[in-house]
Amino acid sequence: MPKFPLVCIVLVSGLLGPPLLGVAAPSSYDRQWAQFDDDPEHLWNRVYRALYERGEGVNRRYCDDELMAFFQGHELCQMDTVTRAKAVAVLDEFIAKDGDRLIEDPVVRAVFQRSLWATLDRSLEHDDSLALHQRLVAVMRRIALSRREIEQLPDTYRAAVQAGRYATSYSEKTRGQPYLPSDLFESDGPWVLLGSSANPLWPTSTMHTVKFQGRATFYVLLRLPAGREATLAFVESLRREARSPDEFYRKLEARTKAGELELPVGTQLALVRAMMTVANSPYPYTTPIVETVQIRVLVPHDTSPQHSGDQTPDEDVYVFRLDQQALRRNVADGLRPVSAQDQVFETWIKPADNPTTERVAQPKNVVDQCAVCHGSRHLYAFQSFGRAAQVGEPLPELVPTNIEHTRYTAQHWKTGHRTWGYLLALWRHN
């Protein structure tokens, strides 16, 4: 485990739902709960609101799955007796009125089920309410899709690229424009999808997988400016380093000072999160619905006076998030760019060996926050390898992989998680 707190970010842009904190006009605030139907009072929306709204009156706030992933156990997003009772009541109404028949759209059903699933898993951390859990699983089962239906869900990444609204390649001319590479998932393209050879059934992005308790598949991709062969050679060099960890750590300080561990300018890194859903079998399957895209492009260091500090990010950052309301209207609008000015809440993850570390929450902008962990050309900025090197853990043996194996790895990880066994027991009981 790390010997120091790790900084993570949570976007509060409103793309995934109502704003986290603050007061909006009631009509505006209520409209933002219209996630699954245009009517905020639709039964599905009322279920969603009961599960994700906290507080009363001017203290109302929104806690989605992404927020709860980083505020684990924090009272900010925990259900209390009142919110739990509201959730149970509206879930009972859903079951009694056959609410599953109100919406047939498989996209909406998949996204709605994911919201229920997240609530179930999160509540297991600090809530032993069997009544709530039973009802959540009962509704999940009623709206579950078949495996075939899941496979036929739309690819939100491809739809966003084909819509032609965003730059599909990176250049000086397109800097600053929202960027979605059109060749990101090409099997023989310049981007290399990474897996692990040492443990092929373990996710590459372990930290993110753990934080989301395995309800998503994370794709980690790397592209060096010299092309695919250069990227493959670089990955192989990291694999050799991992096989001789003692030698790597012995020379680490000297190589770092000599600049030998810097990634070349123009290197691009991507982290893509795809939604997972529970099929009627039941089994957790990765869907083609992409929820987040984070792309970093390493750029020359800015030596201008206004950027003379050590914290200047040596990268361009591009972030896209799933807009649930837009998705159900038009798949091509499902992914929306997040601007550098959007605020995030900075949170400190409490490591197991340092229980005194406190979480804090304060707004920062996206680019500055990304720079905390990734804002350099050093190998450490490539967290799939560098994080282990930072804390002296065994180095991962990264290898090229494919989409199918990455999905299987994520699904396999989830089925081994304690939350899955609990869900299965309730599913079969229902």
DSSP string of 117-178, one letter each residue = HHHHHHHTTT---HHHHHHHHHHHHHHPPPHHHHHTS--HHHHHHHTT-SBSS--TTTTTS-
pLDDT attached to residue 255: 61
Q: What are 35-68's pLDDT values in tens digits?
A: 999 999 999 999 999 998 876 655 566 666 555 5
* Nearest to 111, CA basis, from 234, 237, 291, 249: 291
3-state secondary structure at position 313: coil
CB atoms within 10 A of CB 328: 20
Q: What are 281-329's pLDDT values in tens digits?
A: 999 999 999 999 999 998 886 655 444 444 445 788 899 999 999 999 9
pLDDT attached to residue 373: 52
Residue 69: pLDDT band (50, 70, 90) is: low
Q: What are 74-124's pLDDT values in tens digits?
A: 556 677 888 899 999 999 999 999 999 999 999 999 999 999 999 999 888
pTM over 0.85: no
Q: Is residue 269 within a helix (H) or strand (E), and if so which, with residue range?
A: strand 268-278
The dihedral over CA atoms of 419, 406, 2, 416, expressed in degrees to the nearest 10, equals: 20
CA 201/CA 411 separation, integer angstroms? 9
Q: What are 211-257's pLDDT values in tens digits?
A: 889 999 999 999 999 999 999 998 888 777 766 666 666 666 666 66
* Nearest to 113, CA basis, from 47, 69, 17: 47
pLDDT attached to residue 342: 61
pLDDT attached to residue 26: 40
Q: What are 340-354's pLDDT values in tens digits?
A: 666 544 443 334 343
Residue 198: pLDDT band (50, 70, 90) is: low
Q: What are 128-174's pLDDT values in tens digits?
A: 789 999 999 999 999 999 999 999 999 999 999 999 999 999 988 88
